Amino acid sequence: MEENKEHMEWHGIPREKIRWWPTVDEKKCVGCGICFSGCGRKVYDYDYKKIKSVVARPLNCMVGCTTCQVTCLAGAISFPDKEYVREIIRKNNLVEKTREQLIKNGESRNGKSK
């Protein structure tokens, strides 16, 4: 399975320019598969020989998501520091752009045009 083309941008930024995805520490991983089965973006594959989850499609990972890390009881999953994502948001003025889009969407749903 390859990266999902639908997930190739995040707020207009090409996904390959954003280094956000999980890393699995094989020494800590107990092979429970919670990350593999719980990831809605299909970031993981499961290596049945090693009995470990592996990051197979890193660019499918939702920027800022850490669900697999939170649910990993072994503490085997890590991500870059959250400040990395916050800096991308600041540098690209995403708060203002997102607000503008929300207002535009709300107006179109309410029958108003700008």
Q: Are residues 15 and 49 in the same domain?
A: yes
Reported pTM = 0.83
Q: Are residues 31 and 17 in the same domain?
A: yes
Q: Are residues 50 and 29 in the same domain?
A: yes
pLDDT at 1: 55
Element (H, E) at 78: strand 77-78
pLDDT at 108: 78
pLDDT at 110: 74
Domain, as residue range, for 91: 81-114
Q: Are residues 71 and 24 in the same domain?
A: yes
Q: Are residues 32 and 85 in the same domain?
A: no
Maximum pairwise Cα distance, the chain: 58
pLDDT tens digits, one per residue of 62-99: 999 999 999 999 999 999 999 999 999 999 999 999 99
Q: Is 19 exposed, middle or buried (0-12, 13-18, 19+ CB in 10 A)?
A: exposed
- Domain count along the chain: 2
Cα(78)–Cα(55) distance, integer angstroms: 12
Which carries the bigger pLDDT value, residue 106 or residue 20?
20
Q: Are residues 63 and 85 in the same domain?
A: no
CA distances in angstroms from 109 to 78, 83, 96, 104, 113, listed in the order given: 40, 34, 20, 9, 9
Q: Are residues 90 and 102 in the same domain?
A: yes
